[in-house]
Chain A
Amino acid sequence: MAHVELRNINKKFRRHTALNDLSLDVGDGEFFVLLGPTGAGKTTTLRLIAGLDAPDSGSILIEGADVGQWSAAERDVALVFQYYSLYPHYTVRENLEFPLKSRHRRISAEQVAARVARVAQTLRIEHLLERKTDRLSGGEMQRVSLGRAIVRQPRVFLMDEPLSNLDAKLREILRAELKDLQMKFRATFLYVTHDQVEAMSMADRIGVLNGGRIVQIGTPDEIYNRPRDTFVATFVGSPAMNLLSGVFRDGKVMVVPGKLEIPLDAEVANRLPAGLDRVTLGVRAEDVVVGPGGGLEGRAYGVENHGVEKIVTLKVDEHSLKATVPANMAIEVDSAIPFAIDPAKLQFFADQTGVNLGWKKEEPNHE
């Protein structure tokens, strides 16, 4: 297994900038997730590492060696796609053996059989080995696709939204299996997705990509609790972080004067830049506490049951914010709801740029 490094990668397709000075570092045995919306440059990044495309500038290193001039096969990475690309007329066994029978490899028949057996056992597809792949379910096909990547024992796994065509329940199961597999093999994973739940649940570290740029790299905890800007703050987490634009004056932030004013602790206020006027507040739904004595009041605009809890949308004038409440709390739509916001849980973003005013880079990208 190997360490992968991208340094200052730029890539254009005609006049469209796909990647803009992208640098990142995936550690040996790390599960790294590139997260971003459609068109962010996630798949382009994978294709460059796999050698299916070349960057306009910048370098790609695998285990310290610049692989810019290497062919896809020489790079020894495995790519797993959203759409499984299995040979339909072959059995599962033949599909798994296929990558090992390449004439570059010279692997003995016994070794091939042993590797296929081991992979089939790990993925729990032993009972399917003699079945043709067009007779498999979606989840089974995706397991076989993974198996075909694993059996090669590549240095790096590149995964392009491998779970996105599966239904929700299966995705949940395979998420856990993938993470388990990655830990078991101590494999280096670079996993691409637009699904923040997948990223949060599997990643050792997440790189958030938007418009071809890396916005933030961090552990799930850092990304969730210290988002670099309003893009990360609202892209990660469900429901999205509440954002409220207000004016900072006399130690408090006024969103709606007289109705939605949030006093700040002196210690919090002192950390804000001098001369700050307009500011965007960020607060997560779980930090908006519904209950009497909160000092704030909103109107219940909607209530969503999520089984284990409810999510209430509160409106204060035209501003809306979501709050998580216990499942057994009764909330009438259109009723007045008292609530509080814990000032210690607030995030502050610059009004114009959306950059988190309290954000500090935890560690440099490159030593």
Chain B
Amino acid sequence: MASIVLRNVEKYFGDNYIVRKLNLEIRHREFLVLLGPSGCGKTTTLRAIAGLEEIDSGEILIDGQAVQNRQAADRDIAFVFQLFALYPHLTAYANIAFPLRATKENRNVVDRRVREVAKALRIDGLLDKRPSALSGGDMQRVAIGRALVRRPKALLMDEPMGALDAKLREEMRAELKHIHLENEATTVYVTHDQVEAMAMADRIAIMNDGVLQQVGLPSDVYQYPVNLFVAQFVGSPIMNVVNGAIRPGDGCTNVVLGENDAVQRFPVELHHKVAERRQGQDKLAIGVRPEAVLVARQATDGYFPAEAHIIERLGPYDIVDLKFGTQLFRSRTASGYVKKAGDVVWARLDEKQTHFFDDRTGEALRIRL
């Protein structure tokens, strides 16, 4: 098993950067998810680690060895693609055995390794079936089995569940993570689906426009996003963001949302913290996730009035769109808490879960109350 280190990795196409000054360390046995929108450079990065793509500058180290000039076959890494790419005329057994047979491995060893992997993946009953007779989830397991049977130093996966339907993805997520825990292969997993990333990752690396934005635990990325891009890419529904301003008040700091759409009192130290970081600039962007928009049905001190617009009753909870002034904020409430669209309710931002960003650069001001 292995650690993977990327040092100043760059890849460009003409004048356009695909990956820019990428520095990232993937630890031994770690499950790291590369997350970002399409075109952000995540797949290029993965392919560069695998040796399927040459890099223009920088270094890729596997277990401390620079491998950027080595062939893909010499890197001892297995790649699982979005489309299963199984050989249709071969049985599941022969598909899994294929990489070992290609190296002319002893037949008994091949048999033992294939059966071990199949058992771990719980496909030992399906070994004599051809891919066409398998479900999508089982095909994916066979593809993973084929990758694992070589006992590679690292496993690279490019949206391996992209072709599966929602229910199966949900099941496979838990399975895949469990396979990882048993197998302990260092894994780099590429996806654009933040739910998948949050659910499976030990750490998430978020990319946008070829640039690494943030690396961290799922809970860190969710609770302490470093900029607006990360804040709004991770989490569903999307974090509410509004431009606003802060004004010193009487023993408090007044936070103005929008153009005076609402004003909420915050602790007095907020004003000092912003002043320290913004040198007299009082405008900023304020972000708050739906679960941190607190809602009351009665007029409550410190809350501002808002009108319930659309109510999405999702089952375990509701998402209520709140209108105040020209703003629309989404809040997460207990199911049935707001009775109907058009009701007037009272809202406030949970100050401990309110994020503050530079309104021009989108960088987090790293202020936490």
Contact = CB atoms under 8 A, between A and B. Distances in A.
30 contacts: A38-B165, A167-B192, A169-B233, A169-B238, A172-B237, A173-B238, A176-B310, A176-B321, A194-B166, A200-B314, A201-B319, A220-B314, A221-B336, A234-B167, A240-B170, A284-B315, A284-B316, A301-B178, A302-B177, A304-B177, A304-B198, A304-B200, A305-B198, A305-B199, A305-B218, A306-B199, A307-B198, A308-B291, A308-B332, A327-B219
A200 B315 contact: yes
B315 A194 contact: no
A296 interface: no
A172 B239 CA distance: 12
Interface in B288-331: 289, 291, 309-310, 312-316, 319, 321
A172 B310 CA distance: 13
Interface in B214-254: 218-219, 222, 232-238
A236 B315 contact: yes
A169 B75 CA distance: 36
Interface residues of A, number: 44
Contacts of B313: 200-201, 220-221, 224
A38 to B, nearest CB: 7
Interface string A288-316: 00000000000001101111100101000
B312 A201 contact: yes
B211 to A, nearest CB: 19
- Sorted nearest first, the 10 A-B pairs with minimum C-beta distance are A304-B199, A201-B312, A305-B218, A224-B315, A307-B222, A286-B316, A302-B174, A308-B291, A305-B198, A220-B313
- The secondary structure that dominates the B interface is mixed
Interface in B49-80: none
Contacts, number: 97
Contact of A201 (B165, B170, B232, B314): B314
Kindly name the residue among B38, B181, B234, B313 whose own CB sees the greatest number of chain A CB atoms within 10 A. Answer: B313
Given A220-B313, A301-B174, A301-B178, A307 B235 contact: yes
A172 B316 contact: no
Contacts of B178: 301-302
A305 B219 contact: yes
Interface of A: 37-38, 167-169, 172-173, 176, 179-180, 183, 194-197, 200-202, 220-221, 224-225, 234-240, 284-286, 301-302, 304-308, 311, 313, 324, 327, 333
B7 interface: no
Interface string B144-187: 00000000000000000000011100100110011001000000
A3 B330 CA distance: 32
A15 B312 CA distance: 40
B128 to A, nearest CB: 24
Contact of A307 (B37, B177, B234, B312): B234
B218 A307 contact: yes
A180 B308 CA distance: 12
A165 to B, nearest CB: 12
B236 A202 contact: no
Given A224-B315, A305-B199, A238 B170 contact: yes
A194 B164 CA distance: 13
A169 B235 CA distance: 10
Given A169-B233, A305-B199, 16 more contacts: A168-B194, A169-B232, A179-B310, A183-B341, A196-B166, A201-B312, A220-B314, A220-B315, A224-B315, A236-B315, A239-B170, A284-B315, A301-B178, A304-B199, A306-B198, A307-B289
Contacts of B193: 168
Contacts of B37: 167
Contacts of A173: 238
Interface string B335-349: 110000100000000
